[in-house]
Amino acid sequence: MPSSLRHLCDALGPSPVRLVTAPRGAEGRVSGTLVYEPRGPLPHRDDALLLAVGVPPSEAPPLVDAAAAAGLAGIVVKQYGEPVADLALAAEKAGVALLTADDDLAWQQLDALVTSALAAVAGTGQGTAGPDIGDLFSLANAIAAAVGGATAIEDPYQRILAYSTLRGQEIDEERRQGILGLHVPYAPINVPQYRELARATRVLRFAASPGGLARIAVAVRAGSELLGSIWVVDAHDDLGEEAVRTLDDAARIAGLHLLRARTSHDLVRRQRGDLLRRLLDDPASAPLVGPQLGLPVDAPAVVAAFHLTAAGPDDALTARAALQLTDLVSLHCEAHYSHHGCALIDGTVYALLPADAHRDFVADVARRAHRALHLPVRAALGSVAPSLRAAPASRRDADTVLRTLAPADTAVAAIDDVRPTVTLAELAEQAHLIPRLAEGAGPAIRAHDAAHRTAYAETLLAYFAADSDISTAARALNIHPNTCRYRLSRAESLFHLRLSDPDTRLVLWLQLRLAEGS
């Protein structure tokens, strides 16, 4: 089944292939690959990509014209340090797409990656629910048998995608915990080990940690892009060079499997994200979106929101951390709820969950994300929506709860936990609709304090918070009770107050509290 250039590039990621120009648009069809053979004319192959083996950009313009005449979708070249601006102009004129490939990626592997990606995209388009995980587990067992140790296949975020299940191969507690959580347990030694492995181009050996077993590991790549890694337990520290060569060969085979798994996962995630985004923006879409998410339109649901404190000034790092958070939230939602929606919208990860989703579940996901990403994660649970049509209201509640949480903390709250605070915040936003809130004693006291550096507002708020007990209020203000009593008496005189009247106290407290957030 033909795919599009956009889907293909999304599947392969920013590496190993980059789209330079697409005169027919990124939705132009791609049906397969054709390897360039210089000894004869190009055969007619509708919508195929021509792999320009051995042709530098400076010599490729005639090949672009030939590709257009043969009905090809585009041409893929390696730059080898040459610019491609002139070739891009030629491609634009001929009406074919131009893509560049990593110089260090073998043409045979690129051919296999593109073919695998197109198959994965086509499979997902036909309704596949996700990656063919069975293939990965079979591959893990094959590697374990060939290399001689229990094997785990991981993605770049240390999620365990598959693991071997052969009897008689020893494992340690770290592997047991990883299998249970489908994620490598955090340990300080992991950080330098994974960093070293990501830079390496060969199999590495890692000594046993206290209470654990040694391992050999290799990174899995498509060109320069890291797709994941393979880890093999070396229980007796005796896996020799033959095992190392076998694992190195396995990494090349695993690249195709990981690319397909990632492609299918990414497309399914993107589709579910698009559906949830549409539902949260347009309640009328619920009858169409609900069945695709596996959620009954009239069933109650709730929106959870997760927000990650920025990783730093680097926008790329922040964006990557947000994507990792999306993966983690989606992973845990899939494990607990077979039907859900998950999407990253404007830096916040939203999950649409069944109404019985509990605050404890949201808190557990936030804690796990914090441990995995080493960044504070705020999480909120909105109000229960009686049907999917009311999901946007649950999202608004979740957003409001997030705003009440300190941005630097890993904190979790449900709307019921902070409803009074949220109500005050909403009242403050709508205060302009009640002009009398800007009149009378409250604004006058704030203005007097600002002009004369007095503390009447602070004293009155402490007095109200202490349930009108002067001694308690004085302790909160760290002043003598007589001083507190004098300030209150002076405030009554200056601003014509009658603090014994409950309505006066209520309106004054409201004015002073709302002014605190302005």
- Shared domain for 378 and 447, answered yes or no, is no
Return d(Cα 226, Cα 216) in angstroms, integer.
18
Q: pLDDT digit string (tens) for 351-378?
A: 998 888 888 889 988 888 888 777 888 9
Q: 408 vs 164, which has greater pLDDT?
A: 164
pLDDT at residue 312, as a whole number = 54
- Shared domain for 305 and 406, answered yes or no, is yes
- Shared domain for 389 and 459, answered yes or no, is no
pLDDT at residue 14, as a whole number = 57
- Residue 62's domain comprises 3-123
With cut-offs at 50, 70 and 90, classify the pLDDT of residue 133.
Answer: very low
State yes or no: pLDDT of 128 exceeds 60. Answer: no
pLDDT at residue 1, as a whole number = 44
Query: Amino acid identity, residue 269?
Result: R
pLDDT at residue 110, as a whole number = 80
With cut-offs at 50, 70 and 90, classify the pLDDT of residue 264.
Answer: low
Q: Domain ends where: 63, 90, 123?
A: 123
Q: What is the CATH number of the domain that holds 454?
A: 1.10.10.2840
Tell me whether residue 370 is in a domain: yes
pLDDT at residue 89, as a whole number = 93
- Shared domain for 410 and 447, answered yes or no, is no
- Shared domain for 104 and 151, answered yes or no, is no
User: How distant, in Å, are the alpha carbons of 196, 296, 311, 334, 351 from that of 377?
Assistant: 27, 30, 11, 20, 15
State yes or no: pLDDT of 126 exceeds 60. Answer: no
Q: pLDDT digit string (tens) for 270-326?
A: 677 778 888 898 888 888 888 877 778 888 999 999 998 765 555 556 677 787 788
Signed CA dihedral, 336, 341, 343, 345: sign only: negative
Tell me whether residue 280 is in a domain: no
In this structure, the dihedral spanned by the alpha carbons of residues 372, 376, 382 and 388, taken in order and rounded to 10 degrees, is -40
Tokens standing for 160?
């365990």
- Which is it for strands 17-21 and 29-30: parallel, antiparallel or unpaired? unpaired
**Burial class of 303 by CB neighbour count within 10 A (0 to 12, 13 to 18, 19+):** buried
Q: 336 vs 205, which has greater pLDDT?
A: 205
With cut-offs at 50, 70 and 90, classify the pLDDT of residue 480.
Answer: very high
- Shared domain for 310 and 402, answered yes or no, is yes
Into how many domains does the chain fold? 4
- Shared domain for 351 and 449, answered yes or no, is no
pLDDT at residue 132, as a whole number = 44
User: How distant, in Å, are the alpha carbons of 80, 131, 144, 376 from that of 123?
Assistant: 34, 9, 28, 37
- Shared domain for 106 and 20, answered yes or no, is yes
Close Cβ partners of 99 (under 8 Å, ≥ 6 residues apart)? 9, 17, 18, 19, 20, 49, 74, 75, 76, 77
**Burial class of 360 by CB neighbour count within 10 A (0 to 12, 13 to 18, 19+):** exposed
Residue length, the chain?
518
Q: pLDDT digit string (tens) for 391-419?
A: 999 999 999 888 888 665 668 888 888 88
Q: Give the residue-averaged pLDDT of 194-223.
A: 91
User: How distant, in Å, are the alpha carbons of 93, 262, 277, 349, 370 from that of 381?
Assistant: 54, 29, 17, 12, 17
Q: 434 vs 402, which has greater pLDDT?
A: 402
pLDDT at residue 409, as a whole number = 63
- Shared domain for 151 and 242, answered yes or no, is yes
Percent of the chain with pLDDT over 90: 38
Place of tokens 């809130």: 437
Close Cβ partners of 382 (under 8 Å, ≥ 6 residues apart)? 302, 303, 304, 305, 393, 394, 395, 396, 397, 398, 401, 415
Q: Domain ends where: 95, 123, 151?
A: 123
DSSP classification of residue 44: P
Tell me whether residue 131 is in a domain: no
SS3 of residue 419 by DSSP: helix
Tell me whether residue 277 is in a domain: no
Q: Give the residue-averaged pLDDT of 422-451.
A: 83
Q: Give the residue-averaged pLDDT of 153-161.
A: 86
pLDDT at residue 102, as a whole number = 83
State yes or no: pLDDT of 337 exceeds 80. Answer: no
- Shared domain for 169 and 109, answered yes or no, is no
Tokens standing for 389?
């049509």
Q: Domain ends where: 123, 157, 181?
A: 123
Q: pLDDT digit string (tens) for 492-507?
A: 999 999 998 888 888 8
pLDDT at residue 131, as a whole number = 38
Q: What is the CATH number of the domain that holds 188?
A: 3.30.450.40
Q: What is the CATH number of the domain that holds 104?
A: 3.40.1390.20
Judge if the upstream peptide bond of residue 41 is cis by omega within 30 degrees of 0. Answer: no
Lowest mean pLDDT among 12-16, 156-160, 212-216, 269-273: 12-16
Tell me whether residue 429 is in a domain: no
- Shared domain for 115 and 18, answered yes or no, is yes
Question: pTM of the full predicted structure?
Answer: 0.50
Query: Amino acid identity, residue 407?
Result: P
SS3 of residue 76 by DSSP: strand
- Shared domain for 118 and 151, answered yes or no, is no
pLDDT at residue 127, as a whole number = 37
Tell me whether residue 478 is in a domain: yes
pLDDT at residue 355, as a whole number = 87
Q: 47 vs 259, which has greater pLDDT?
A: 47
pLDDT at residue 170, as a whole number = 92
Tell me whether residue 378 is in a domain: yes
State yes or no: pLDDT of 263 exceeds 80. Answer: no
Closest CA to 143 of 130, 118, 124, 162: 162
Range with top average pLDDT, 1-10, 254-263, 368-377, 427-436: 368-377
Tell me whether residue 334 is in a domain: yes
